[in-house]
């Protein structure tokens, strides 16, 4: 008879294996207060008051290419690198190798984390064609695999990307749903902080209604195109037990990964300085009570084309660099080289300051991305360069990237942010003749109407 290799099989008693016993939750009883597991994603922890709900599952949903997998991976990588919390990535869509190489371009050395047992990636292939169903079954195998991965590295964070792949692999949807329910309960019992991703569905958050199983926290990601400009947005749909912003927050995916911009309601409680900084022009300083601008203030230079706004801004930047204060120059109409050349003609060597790393010129056409993206990139540039002085030249060209209202709200947020950081800012604004201004305004109006029509 052909049965071999299962000597222990003869013992029929129901003995829980040692592995199984270790599965029981070891992270204490759930307290009344929800504790948070920081995601380490810039801005996200700020809008959620600390991160994802610890010991619970969070659903991250959105359409294809909106950044779900990246969000999930960053949650694990940051947990491992910054907090020493090991994580398991259960991948249904991409193999371990693909995942590692996809995020390598963002500077995440996932392979090293795997080698150091801070991260475990388990790729699960669901192939309907090679599975025959013959009677009752359950998904205990999935539980065993996940449990083993969690126990092997002592993981406290788990990502499942994306659970809905299971629906294509099995015929019995009722059974699958029962098993999913069991799985979410099981994850909670194990006390791990989980991120489950789900593909956006028609009229539903996810294609198979996963939101039905995840009751604690639901995050929706979105990549919207308006006027040919795409903006990524994040919204917290639900976060049980936590006050959270209900707005849509723009987020960025760039060479360093995911960052969310908490851009509203910074409040009006920024510090105020009485210190003066030179405007770069002695005569102007003299007019300003002999000292120049207040540090941390926002200054607007307004004038028609050709009246010397950029020159004044460059003088201000030059003065700042002379004080050995880092200066960030957002050029929205001219390239770096063009500004350097033009300013050299009036005796300002911006190039020298750039070589000394005191000045950084960030040049980008307003139409390259949407306003939110501009604000986001500006925030990021400020975070990276740590300037004490910022120049925006000119803000009027931002109107081409959004409606007047949007521009205003964006600028208010930018000023608030810079004030909070005690950064002195000078911006230029091209004054238009009444007719031009009127034309621009009506153009803007019709555009925003179009946009609204398309969105509804």
Partner 1 sequence: MTLTPRSRTAGGAARRPRARPKPADTEYPLRLYVAGKTPKSLQAFANLRTICEQHLAGQYRLEVVDLLENPALARGDQILALPALVRQLPPPVKKIIGDFSSAERVLVGLDLRPVKKGRER
Q: Which residues are catalytic?
A: 93, 333
**Nearest-approach distance from CB 97 to partner 1, in angstroms:** 15
**Nearest-approach distance from CB 156 to partner 1, in angstroms:** 19
For residue 418, give the nearest of 332, 294, 333 by alpha carbon.
294
Burial label for 96, CB within 10 Å (0-12, 13-18, 19+), is middle
Is 66:111 a contact under the CB 8 Å cutoff? no
Question: Which stretches does DSSP call E strand in 205-261?
Answer: 217-226, 229-239, 248-254, 257-260
The nearer residue to partner 1, 133 or 431, going by C-beta atoms, is 133
Using CA atoms, how far apart are residues 392 and 386, in angstroms rounded to an integer?
16
Residues that bind partner 1 (CB under 8 A): 1-6, 8-14, 16-17, 19-20, 122, 124-127, 130-145, 147-148, 166, 169-170
**Nearest-approach distance from CB 26 to partner 1, in angstroms:** 18
Using CA atoms, how far apart are residues 111 and 121, in angstroms rounded to an integer?
10
The nearer residue to partner 1, 100 or 315, going by C-beta atoms, is 100
Burial label for 173, CB within 10 Å (0-12, 13-18, 19+), is exposed
Phi, psi for 299 (deg, rounded to 5): -115, 135
**Nearest-approach distance from CB 163 to partner 1, in angstroms:** 12
Q: What number of CA atoms fall less than 13 Å from residue 114's CA on the CB side?
A: 14
The nearer residue to partner 1, 13 or 434, going by C-beta atoms, is 13
Using CA atoms, how far apart are residues 331 and 374, in angstroms rounded to an integer?
12
The nearer residue to partner 1, 2 or 347, going by C-beta atoms, is 2
Question: What are the C-alpha distances in Å from 114 to residues 69, 124, 258?
Answer: 17, 17, 21
Is 435:289 a contact under the CB 8 Å cutoff? no
The nearer residue to partner 1, 142 or 441, going by C-beta atoms, is 142
**Nearest-approach distance from CB 451 to partner 1, in angstroms:** 45
Q: Look at the block and give the residue holding tokens 């049980």.
A: 240
**Nearest-approach distance from CB 215 to partner 1, in angstroms:** 25
The nearer residue to partner 1, 5 or 347, going by C-beta atoms, is 5
């Amino acid at each position: 008879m052909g049965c071999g290799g299962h000597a222990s099989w003869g013992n029929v008693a129901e003995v829980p294996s040692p592995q199984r016993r270790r599965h029981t939750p070891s992270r204490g009883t759930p307290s009344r207060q929800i504790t948070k597991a920081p995601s380490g994603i810039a801005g996200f922890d700020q809008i959620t008051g600390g991160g994802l709900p610890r010991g619970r599952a969070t659903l991250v949903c959105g359409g294809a290419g909106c950044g779900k997998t990246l969000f999930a991976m960053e949650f694990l990588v940051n947990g491992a690198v910054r907090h020493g919390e090991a994580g398991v990535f259960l991948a249904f869509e991409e193999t371990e190798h693909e995942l590692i190489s996809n995020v390598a371009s963002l500077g995440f050395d996932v392979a090293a984390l795997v080698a150091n047992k801070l991260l475990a990636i388990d790729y699960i292939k669901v192939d309907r064609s090679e599975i025959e169903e013959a009677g009752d079954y359950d998904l205990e195998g999935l539980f065993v695999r996940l449990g083993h991965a969690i126990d092997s590295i002592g993981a406290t964070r788990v990502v499942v990307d994306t659970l809905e792949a299971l629906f294509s692999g099995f015929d019995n949807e009722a059974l699958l749903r029962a098993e999913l329910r069991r799985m979410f309960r099981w994850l909670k019992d194990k006390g791990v902080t989980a991120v489950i991703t789900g593909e956006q569905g028609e009229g539903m958050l996810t294609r198979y209604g996963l939101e039905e199983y995840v009751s604690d926290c639901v995050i929706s990601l979105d990549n919207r195109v308006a006027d040919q400009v795409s903006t990524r947005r994040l919204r917290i749909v639900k976060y049980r037990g936590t006050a959270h912003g209900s707005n849509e927050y723009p987020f960025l995916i760039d060479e360093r990964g995911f960052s969310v911009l908490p851009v509203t309601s910074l409040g009006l409680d920024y510090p105020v300085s009485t210190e003066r900084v030179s405007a770069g022009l002695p005569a102007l300083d003299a007019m300003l009570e002999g000292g120049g601008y207040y540090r941390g203030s926002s200054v607007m230079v307004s004038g028609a084309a050709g009246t010397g706004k950029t020159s004044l801004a460059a003088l201000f930047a030059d003065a700042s660099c002379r004080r050995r204060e880092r200066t960030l120059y957002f050029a929205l109409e001219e390239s770096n080289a063009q500004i350097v050349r033009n300013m050299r003609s009036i005796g300002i060597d911006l190039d020298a300051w750039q070589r000394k790393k005191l000045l950084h010129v960030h040049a980008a056409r307003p139409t390259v991305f949407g306003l939110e993206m501009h604000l986001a990139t500006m925030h990021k540039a400020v975070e990276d360069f740590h300037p004490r002085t910022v120049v925006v030249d000119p803000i009027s060209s931002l109107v081409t990237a959004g409606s007047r209202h949007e521009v205003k709200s964006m600028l208010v947020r930018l000023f608030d942010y810079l004030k909070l950081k005690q950064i002195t800012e000078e911006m230029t604004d091209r004054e238009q003749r009444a007719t031009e201004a009127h034309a621009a305004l009506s153009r803007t109006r019709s555009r925003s109407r179009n946009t609204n029509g398309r969105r509804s």
